[in-house]
Each structure stands twice: as C-alpha cells, then as structure tokens.
Structure 1
Amino acid sequence: MVYIPTDIALAQSRRRHKINNLIHSGALLGGLGLLLSLTGWTLAGLEGMLLAVMAGALSVLFAPRVSPRMVLGFYGARRLSYTDAPGLFEVVRAVSARAGLASPPTLHCVASPTLNAFAVGGRDQAAVALTDGLLRALTLRELAGVMAHEISHIRNNDLFVMGLADTMASLTRLLSVLGAVLLMVNLPLLLLQREPLPWLAVLLMTVAPALGALLQLALSRTREYDADLDAAYLTGDPEGLASALDRVERVQGRLWEGLVLPRRSTSAGPSLLRSHPHTEDRIRRLLDLRTPPPVLHDLDHLPVHVAFPAADRRPRFRLSGYWY
C-alpha cells in the first residue's frame, strides 16, 4: 500500500476537479461557437459562417464595458465602510489575498429583504454587493463562504466568460430571426418556382435559439460548481458555504414561496432550465470535498448586521419589491 501525503492528495483532487470543470466549460463555449457558425453557414454559406464568427469576436473585443458603479447604482447599492462590518472586511481581505487578487473588491449593500450576493467588474476593478437580508440572516462563517464564492468568480474571470457566452447566444438568436424573415419574404417565390423548402435550414433556425439558451444555462451551472470548489479551498471550510446555501434555500422558500406554494422547494424545476445547480447537489459536492485546514478561525456564531440611517432609508415600495 502506497502512502500519499495529505497535501499531495488534496492537490491532485483539486487539479482533477478543475480539469473536469475546464473541459466542461470549454466544450459548452465551443458548442455555442459551433451553433453560431452553423447559423451563419445556413444563411450565407461559408462567407456567412466566417462573418458570424468575426461578428462574435468583434462584439466581444469592442463592446462597451459596463462599469461596476453603473450596475451598483441601478440596484441602489450603498458602499460599506470598515466600521459598518469590520469582521466581514477582514474576511474579504484574507480571502482576496489567498486568491491572489491585487486588491480586495469593494463591498456594497443593497437594501432588499431577499438573500442574494453578486460580483461585478473584473480582477482590476471589482465589487461585491450583498443584500441587507443576506447580511442579517447569515453568520460571519457563512458569509465567508459566500464571499469566497464571489471572489472566485472574479478571479476566474467568470463575468467575461458569461459575457462571451451571452454574446454568442444573442448573435445566434439574431441570425435565426433574420433567417426566418428572409424565409417568409422568399416563400412566395419558392412556391411559384416549386422549389423545395430548405427544411434542414428551417429546423436549425427554429431550434438554434433554444439550444443556445440551454448551452448558456449549462455553462452558468458549470461556473457555479467551479466557484464553489474554489471557495472551499480559499477558506478551507466547505461546511461554511454549504451551511450558507442551506440557510438561503430555507429562508427564501419561506419568504417568497410559502405564501403561494406551501412546502414547495426553491430547487424545484428542470435542471436544464436553471442558471444555478440544485442547492442539494451543491451542498453534497461541498461536503464530499477534502480541503486544507480552515484559514479563517473563530467565525462561528458571529452575526453581521449593517444598520441604515432611518432618515434616508425609510420603507418604500419599489417595482422589484419592498426595500427598507
């Protein structure tokens, strides 16, 4: 029996997970590119295929980058200071350093009772927004897992990857609509000349948008799995993130679905139509991981609360829900 040191076994396990996720992501991005190429080829042959690929590349290279400030302003986010949540800032600083980021992302709070967090920007200019409901509901240990998950998205350039996938899916939908319009315009001529309808092209134009959307959703789920894996290794505490996911699942279910659909799980729905994997599956994968010892200590049962001044944050109704 050959003895393998623990750190070597952990490194091999992580490398295996990362390689599988990279292959999966590459295959899905390749599928989106192939679908875009086939749609262009159906419209105008080889030239159409080349033009479709060039259009996708140019749109990614020269598309205007939305600044994090603009996105955060859309949500009405307020930037947090160190005095608002010193424990949370220390966690973000430690996790960012372990992730190799040049500087920690700025922290912002969205006044909303929902439990959510999201990252915006890139590695050079990043921000993470957390809802007030999330800050009130999770312990600092659970928030550490959530922040490590978002920082993993930033480090892995997932925002760029998903933007690339969205560009290819959008171009595929545009070409499909253009193909349908051209078919309708030329349909009388084809019938008068008794030309056979290009059924293969019609079928491709019909299913291409749906296939693109499914590939995009599958890529999103893969990137979520990868961020979970990296978050567990950044903190050395997969149970913290698993606990956060479980708490969010239970609280969100009570808050939104309990009134209309009692005892219905928030993870219900076909897996193919979800942008995030089932929570139960994410928790199972996290608990099956072998990670290094925790790098953040004494985080249990330390709640984080961010107070808002009553003068400028009165309860108001917004189209997106009640903000307080």
Structure 2
Amino acid sequence: MFANWLKTSILMAAIVALFGVIGGFVGGKSGMLLALLFGGAMNVFAYWFSDKMVLKMYNAREVDASSAPQFYGMVRELAQRAGLPMPRVYLIDEGQPNAFATGRNPDNAAVAATSGILQLLSAREIRGVMAHELAHVRHRDILISTISATMAGAISALANFAVFFGGRDSEGRPSNPLAGILVALLAPLAASLIQMAISRAREFEADRGGAEICGDPNALADALAKIDAYARGIPMAPAEAHPETAQMMIMNPLSGGGIAGLFSTHPATAERVARLRAMGRG
C-alpha cells in the first residue's frame, strides 16, 4: 500500500514539474509562473465540476431505493462497511459491462454502473465491483486522476503553443525552432506516460481496497475476468467520444484497447486477478 502511494506521489510531482518546465520553455521564467497558475485554475475547475460533466457525457440517470432497490441497497451496505457517506448512485444505459466513481471528495461522490454489468454479473460479483469503486472514493483517487488528466491536457496545449510561437530561454531570448518541435512531440508523450502510470497504480490499490471492503477478493477477481472477456467486444459510444474518461472505468472501455504496457490506463487483467486470488488464499 505504502509503495503504491509513494509511487503515485512521485508521479504527481513529476507531471506538475513537467508542466512548469514546458511553461518555462514557452515563456521563460514568467511563462513557467503563468503555466503553473493556469494549471492551478484548471484543477480548481476540474475539482468542482468534473463529476457533473462526466455523468452528463454518459447520460447517467440517478436512482434511489425506490427505482433500483437491490442495487441501491447494495451500495449503501458497502458504503457503511467502508465508513463512507452514502454516494449518489447512477445507472448508464450501455451494453458494455463497466462502472466508475466520480466526485471531488467522499461527501460529494457518485458511483455509476452500466446496464450491461448488472446483466452480466452475479450479485456477488457486482458487490465486488462496487466495493472497488468505493475504494476509489475512500482513497480520493477521483481527485488524483482528475488533476493528472487536466495537467496532461494542459501540457499538450502548451506544447502545441511552442510549435507556433517557439520557446524562450532563461533570459527570455527565442530558442532554437527545432527545440520547439521536439517539445511538441515529446512533452505530450511524457505527460501521457505519467498519467497512465498514475492510473495503473491507483487501480491496483482500488482492487486491494475493494476486496477488503466487500470481504471477498475472489468475487472481484471473478468479476474482472468476466468483464475483460465481454467488454472488448461491446463498444461504448460515450467512452469512444471522450477517451480521456477511460481511466475512470474499472476496465478500459475503448475498443482500440490493444495497446499494452506503458500506454495502458489499466494494469493487465491477468495480473489484477492473480493479486486478488492471492489475497483470497491469504
């Protein structure tokens, strides 16, 4: 657990530092300061409004104890086990089996599941999935993923700016145009690699936390194996239209998910399942 948190902290520091360096390249010392201020403003906006934006992207509809008694009651029981306030609960009318959590903090959290996941999984497996999402809430992963995604997007924007307007050295003099092209190519790549590494670290930690919350590591392992087998063959239009939201899901929702390793927002399912099975044996 500590190792994952340390890794996340280092990666978060790296993406903020990269943002400042690119800002410094584009506009010198004043550019670095403006970049950090701009990044801070973007993060404040994302902190307050990202949950509403994402739920609207997926046409999620809120449910309660009357409209979805079993699902809502399951989330309520798990939230109590996790020591969390009751989150808002949403359903998404999509065939792909998937789920995510959003919200700026545990007091303003929401969890959402697709109709496909409710049809595919058993009640025991759904319980494991929702425990995973509540672990994200408890660990405040939504805030971490929102900031990393915002910073990565801002770095890409700054890098594109460098192509058209060039860069500045520490004295404010124009830099080599070739350096601007290299920055435009490499900076977004570096930012994406850091963002994806953060996402993978948080997924492992949410698997562990979710297994502890539901008390059944094998339920989550079984669910992940089933989702992985079915999700790839069922496209999800909102995710394809907004690929930046893929990191929020319990499983990568994008149909072009053949890119693995460094370029994956999620760890390999086989490794996630193996870790959970080991917890179950323990």
Match of 1:3 in 2: none
Task: Summarize the alignment of residues 124-273 of structure 1 with structure 2, pairs less than 5 Å apart.
Answer: 124-183=107-166, 197=176, 199-253=178-232, 255=234, 268-273=258-263
Structure 2 vs 1, CA of residues 126 and 51 (structure 1 numbering), >3 Å: closer, same or farther?
same
CA deviations on 1:268-288 (whole Å, 9 max, x unpaired) are 432212111111111011112
Aligned pairs, number: 257
Task: Summarize the alignment of residues 309-324 of structure 1 with structure 2, pairs less than 5 Å apart.
Answer: none
Once residues 55 and 69 of structure 1 are traced to their aligned partners in structure 2, the CA distance between those partners, rounded to angstroms, is 22
Structure 2 vs 1, CA of residues 69 and 32 (structure 1 numbering), >3 Å: closer, same or farther?
closer
Unaligned runs of 5+ in 2: 168-172, 236-254
Once residues 165 and 196 of structure 1 are traced to their aligned partners in structure 2, the CA distance between those partners, rounded to angstroms, is 28
Once residues 106 and 230 of structure 1 are traced to their aligned partners in structure 2, the CA distance between those partners, rounded to angstroms, is 20
CA deviations on 1:12-37 (whole Å, 9 max, x unpaired) are xxxxxx21111111111111112111
Note the C-alpha offset of 1:167. Answer: 1.9
Unaligned runs of 5+ in 1: 1-17, 185-189, 257-264, 293-324
2:88 is equivalent to residue 109 of structure 1: no
Q: Decide whether the 8 Å contact of 2:128 with 2:223 is kept in 1.
A: yes
Note the C-alpha offset of 1:172. Answer: 1.1
Structure 2 vs 1, CA of residues 291 and 27 (structure 1 numbering), >3 Å: closer, same or farther?
farther
Structure 2 vs 1, CA of residues 44 and 154 (structure 1 numbering), >3 Å: closer, same or farther?
same
Structure 2 vs 1, CA of residues 38 and 83 (structure 1 numbering), >3 Å: closer, same or farther?
same
CA deviations on 1:166-216 (whole Å, 9 max, x unpaired) are 2211221121111110139xxxxx9xxxx9936555423320011111111
Once residues 184 and 50 of structure 2 are traced to their aligned partners in structure 1, the CA distance between those partners, rounded to angstroms, is 34
2:109 is equivalent to residue 119 of structure 1: no
2:82 is equivalent to residue 99 of structure 1: yes
Moved more, 83-92 or 281-290: 83-92
- TM-score normalised per structure 2: 0.81
Counterpart secondary structure, 1:289 = helix
Note the C-alpha offset of 1:237. Answer: 1.0
Note the C-alpha offset of 1:133. Answer: 1.2
2:41 is equivalent to residue 51 of structure 1: no
CA deviations on 1:30-66 (whole Å, 9 max, x unpaired) are 1111211111121232222222222212322355732
Match of 2:244 in 1: none
Say what the alpha-carbon RMSD is for the aligned residues: 2.8
Structure 2 vs 1, CA of residues 37 and 279 (structure 1 numbering), >3 Å: closer, same or farther?
same
2:23 is equivalent to residue 40 of structure 1: yes
Structure 2 vs 1, CA of residues 254 and 213 (structure 1 numbering), >3 Å: closer, same or farther?
closer
Report which of the two has the higher share of helix: 2
Q: Decide whether the 8 Å contact of 1:149 with 1:231 is kept in 2.
A: yes
Match of 1:8 in 2: none
Q: Decide whether the 8 Å contact of 2:47 with 2:146 is kept in 1.
A: no
Match of 1:276 in 2: 266
Task: Give runs of ≥4 in structure 1 deviating > 6 Å.
Answer: none
- TM-score normalised per structure 1: 0.71
Note the C-alpha offset of 1:130. Answer: 1.2
Q: Decide whether the 8 Å contact of 2:204 with 2:272 is kept in 1.
A: yes
Counterpart secondary structure, 1:66 = helix
Aligned amino acid, residue 227 of structure 2? V
Match of 1:319 in 2: none
2:6 is equivalent to residue 27 of structure 1: no
**Which has the greater radius of gyration?**
1
